[in-house]
Each structure stands twice: as C-alpha cells, then as structure tokens.
C-alpha cells in the first residue's frame, strides 16, 4: 500500500534528524555518503510537500464546490422566506424550521471564511532556492516537511468543514421541500371560494399543483403564484357576491318601513334568532358579520394559535342572493333532495344572519384535524356552537358540518354545549321545509 503523505513526512523527518545527529557524532563512514543522504532527504521533502499541496488544493476545490451548493440552497431559502404567507401553509412550523436551518448554514459558512482568511499563504513561500551544503539540505528538508504537515492538517480541516457544510446544506434543502409540501397540503385541502368562477378556480388549482415537487430554486415564484391565485380567487368571489347583491337590489322594490316586503319576519325564540328549514329570514336581512361574531372569533383564533393551531374563516356572511346562487348550482348538479342535505335554500341559511362562520376546510375531514377537535371541545367558551353535529341530520336537517359555527353568546353556547343537544332540541323546535 503506498505511503500516505503524513507517513512519508514522518519518515523524512526521521531521516533528516538521523543525518544531523550522525554528523554531530561523527558516525558516518564518508563525507560523500553524508552528502548523498542529506540531498536525498531534501529531495524526498520536496516531493512530500508537493503531494501535500496537491491534496490541500483538492480539499480546497471540494470545499469551494460545497460552498457554492450551500450558497444556492441559502439563496433559495431566503427567497422563499421573503414571500411566504404563513396563513396559507398547512404547518407554520415549517417557516421556523427553514429559518433555523438557513441561519445555521450561514453561521457555518462564516466560520469557514474566518478559517480560510487566517490560513491563507503564498503557495511557494517555503520552497526558496535549492540549498548547496549538507547542512542546508538537512535543515531545508525539515522546514519543507513541517510546511507539508501544516498543509496536511489544513486539508483534513477543510474536509471536515466540507462534510459539515454538506450536511447543513441538505438540512436547508429538506426544510425548503417541507415548506413547499406544507403550502401544497394547505392548497390541496382548501377549495377556492364558492363564487370565484371557473377561471380563478382553475388558476388557483394549477398554482397549487405546481407546488408539488417544486425545485428549491423555483419555490419563491411558485409560492408567489399560489398566494396570488388565492387572493385573486377571493377577490373574484367577493366581486361575484357584490354583483349578486346589486342585481338583487335592483330587481326588487325597496322594502316598506316595516321590512316585510316578502312576507317573512325574523324569528326569535327565547331571545335567540332562529334560522333553519322551518324558520326563514326576509331577503333584505343582513349586511355582514356582526361585530360580536368577529370579536369572538378573533379571541378564539388567538387562543388556538397559542396552542400551535391555525384557525381562519373560509366563509362568513352570505346575502340572500348569494345563497340563491349557491343553492341553485347544487340543485343543478345534484338534484333538490341531495342539495337540501348540505345547502340551505335562500332565506334559510344561517350565514345570512351575520352570526355564522365556516372554518378552514369545508369538508368533514376538518373534524378529524387537531383544529377540528379543538374547536369541538372549546368553541362554546367563546360563544359558538358546532351547529350541525354528527348523527343529527334527522333533527337539524343537515349532514355533519364540523366547520360550521353559530354564535349564540358565551352563556347560551355554554348551556347548549353542556346539554349535549342540538339547537333545535334545546329550543324544542323542528327543522323542515314547509
């Protein structure tokens, strides 16, 4: 097996030391033999130094390549962090994880910069002119060997840096992929708003799909496209709602002072506004979520966030005209019987009261998430009830909707929750279209 550079260094040092010692003791048989040995030790030291330089240069080149990869990973991470909206992620902890990985990589690179600055030197600083005498050969050999030892140590240090930096780079790349996966998971689980329209919905769906397996260097523009598509879908939905409300207002005569234009009055039972399949609202009723509902949600959202949970309103107030559009679309696709199980007829939607919100993902899967379980156990403390519990369709008229909350106030909501009853059972009323 060929000798490693350091093994050759040790052997050459021993040879040079032997020459110097032998000369001092007068042990060598001839001057010619001593000269030849000293020259051989010098020649060997030159070779050892050249090998050490070659190895150090190779280690330096390897480290340069790894630093370039690290810089690319850090740049991609920084770009993604600059644009990401945590509210459109499935897990906001992925943001903190990526920030931490990027910072650790930056710290390691700064340490390497400092080391390289401290150890920089002229690659030819130890060669000089070839020596002439036996003593100069021996002392030069020792000097070159010591320099070779320094270079061998430097090569080892750079390779240690290289391995550490490569590992940190992988950590940043992994955290970047996890951030992309979190955005994709949130987008996949969140439908575009109901009235966004085909164009905005298709654009949003395409932007979500583009997040799957996206390269780290392309994550920032992909995140931007996804977030912009969501904003566009929300804007399209709101514009459609406004247009529907405007059209409805123009198509109907102004209501008389008593607000009984369509022969329906709001119904209050035990001080609670009741809206279900039995009790409806006039078409003019409602103009947005009430301040009490919004404030109660914000308190609930803040407490959930303190526990690492993410709650957001996916649907709030809906006008009579908006509900008519939604319901009619379901009827066209599914028929009246199927639509009536999960969509209210216009005038019979709790969303028109301004006291009702839909949370997060409007699917039953929400009920099995950490957020869904927390809401089921805690919403009453903020004045909300889960309006349509599981296995209560025969009573409420609607399938299980774990995302659908109705604001009743803390006192009433607490009583309903403690009773284990639906609102219909609590009030002793029915929910069936006449």
Tell me the C-alpha to C-alpha distance, in Å, between residue 322 and each of 85, 269, 415: 29, 26, 32
Helix (H, G, I), strand (E, B) or coil at 359: strand
Report the pLDDT averaged over residues 373-398. Answer: 95
Determine the pLDDT at residue 413.
94
State what percent of residues in the chain have pLDDT above 70.
83
Determine the pLDDT at residue 151.
86
Least confident range of 141-155, 247-261, 282-296: 247-261
Question: Starting at the edge strand that comes first in sequence, how are the strands of the sheet with 356-359 ordered?
Answer: 313-315, 356-359, 401-407, 384-388
Examine the pLDDT at 16 and tell me if it is beyond 80: no
Long-range contacts of 103-109 (CB under 8 A, 24+ apart): 104/168, 104/171, 105/70, 105/73, 105/74, 105/165, 105/168, 105/169, 105/171, 105/172, 106/74, 108/161, 108/164, 108/165, 108/168, 109/67, 109/70, 109/71, 109/74, 109/165
Report the pLDDT averaged over residues 334-354. Answer: 93
What angle (nearest 5°) sits at the alpha carbon of residue 20, between those of residues 19 and 24?
A: 115
- Tokens 């097996």 -> residue: 1
- Per-residue DSSP letter, 420: T
Q: Output the pTM of the full model.
A: 0.50
Determine the pLDDT at residue 56.
85
Report the pLDDT averaged over residues 144-159. Answer: 86
Cβ contact 19:131 at 8 Å: no
Least confident range of 22-26, 117-121, 329-333, 391-395: 22-26
- Of 400, 322, 387, 317, give the one whose Cα is nearest residue 351: 317
Report the pLDDT averaged over residues 221-248. Answer: 85
Determine the pLDDT at residue 27.
44
- The b-or-e profile of 217-248 (16+ CB within 10 A means b, else e) is eebbebbbbbbebbebbeebbeebbeebbeeb
- Tell me which residues are annotated as active site: 401
- Of 236, 223, 233, give the one whose Cα is nearest residue 87: 223
Determine the pLDDT at residue 168.
93
Which class for 267: exposed (0-12), middle (13-18), buried (19 or more C-beta within 10 A)? middle
Examine the pLDDT at 124 and tell me if it is beyond 60: no
Tell me the C-alpha to C-alpha distance, in Å, between residue 225 and each of 83, 89, 220: 10, 14, 9
Determine the pLDDT at residue 144.
81
Examine the pLDDT at 407 and tell me if it is beyond 60: yes
Q: DSSP letters of 211-236?
A: TTT--GGGHHHHHHHHHHHHHHHHHH
Examine the pLDDT at 82 and tell me if it is beyond 50: yes
Cβ contact 383:413 at 8 Å: yes
Q: What are the tokens at 175?
A: 């955290």
Cβ contact 403:360 at 8 Å: yes
Half-sphere exposure in the Cβ direction for 231 (13 Å, CA): 8
Higher confidence at residue 405 or residue 161? 405
- Of 403, 279, 399, 277, give the one whose Cα is nearest residue 338: 399
List, for residues 302-313, the tens digit of each pLDDT value. Answer: 999 999 999 999
Examine the pLDDT at 256 and tell me if it is beyond 90: no
State what percent of residues in the chain have pLDDT above 90.
59
List, for residues 171-226, the tens digit of each pLDDT value. Answer: 999 999 999 999 999 999 999 888 888 898 999 999 999 999 999 999 999 999 99
Determine the pLDDT at residue 253.
38
Least confident range of 39-48, 191-200, 325-334, 351-360: 39-48
């Amino acid at each position: 097996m060929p000798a490693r550079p350091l093994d050759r260094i040790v052997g050459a040092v021993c040879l040079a030391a032997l020459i110097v010692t032998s000369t001092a003791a007068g042990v060598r048989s001839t001057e010619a033999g001593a000269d030849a040995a000293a020259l051989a030790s010098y020649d060997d030291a030159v070779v050892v130094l050249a090998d050490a330089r070659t190895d150090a240069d190779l280690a330096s080149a390897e480290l340069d390549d790894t630093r370039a990869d690290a810089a690319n990973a850090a740049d991609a991470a920084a770009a993604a962090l600059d644009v990401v909206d945590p509210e459109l992620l499935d897990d906001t902890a992925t943001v903190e994880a990526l920030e931490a990985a990027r910072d650790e990589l930056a710290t390691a690179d700064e340490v390497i910069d400092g080391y390289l600055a401290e150890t920089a030197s002229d690659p030819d600083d130890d060669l000089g002119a070839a020596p002439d005498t036996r003593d100069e050969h021996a002392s030069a050999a020792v000097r070159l060997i010591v320099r070779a030892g320094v270079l061998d140590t430097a090569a080892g240090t750079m390779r240690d840096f290289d391995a550490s930096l490569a590992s940190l780079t992988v950590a940043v790349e992994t955290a970047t992929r996890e951030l992309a996966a979190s955005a994709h998971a949130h987008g996949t689980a969140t439908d575009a708003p109901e009235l966004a329209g085909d164009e905005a919905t298709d654009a949003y769906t395409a932007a979500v799909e583009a997040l799957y397996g996206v390269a780290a260097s392309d994550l920032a523009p992909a995140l931007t496209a996804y977030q912009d598509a969501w904003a566009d879908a929300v804007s399209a939905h709101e514009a459609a709602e406004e247009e529907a409300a405007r059209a409805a207002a123009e198509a109907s005569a102004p209501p008389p002072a008593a607000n009984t234009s369509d022969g329906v009055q709001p119904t209050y039972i035990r001080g609670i506004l009741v809206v279900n399949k039995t009790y409806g609202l006039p078409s003019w009723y409602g103009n947005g979520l009430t301040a009490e509902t919004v404030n109660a949600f914000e308190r609930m959202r803040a407490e959930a966030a303190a526990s690492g949970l993410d709650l957001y309103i996916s649907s709030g107030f809906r006008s009579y005209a908006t509900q008519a559009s939604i319901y009619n679309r379901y009827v066209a696709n599914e028929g009246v019987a199927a639509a009536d199980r999960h969509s209210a007829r216009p005038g019979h939607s709790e969303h028109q009261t301004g006291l009702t919100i839909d949370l997060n993902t409007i699917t039953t899967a929400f009920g099995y998430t950490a957020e869904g379980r927390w809401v089921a156990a805690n919403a009453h403390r903020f004045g909300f009830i889960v309006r349509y519990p599981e296995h209560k369709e025969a009573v409420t008229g609607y399938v299980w909707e774990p995302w659908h909350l109705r604001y009743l106030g803390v006192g009433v909501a607490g009583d309903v929750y403690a009773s284990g009853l639906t609102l219909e059972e609590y009030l002793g009323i029915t929910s069936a279209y006449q």
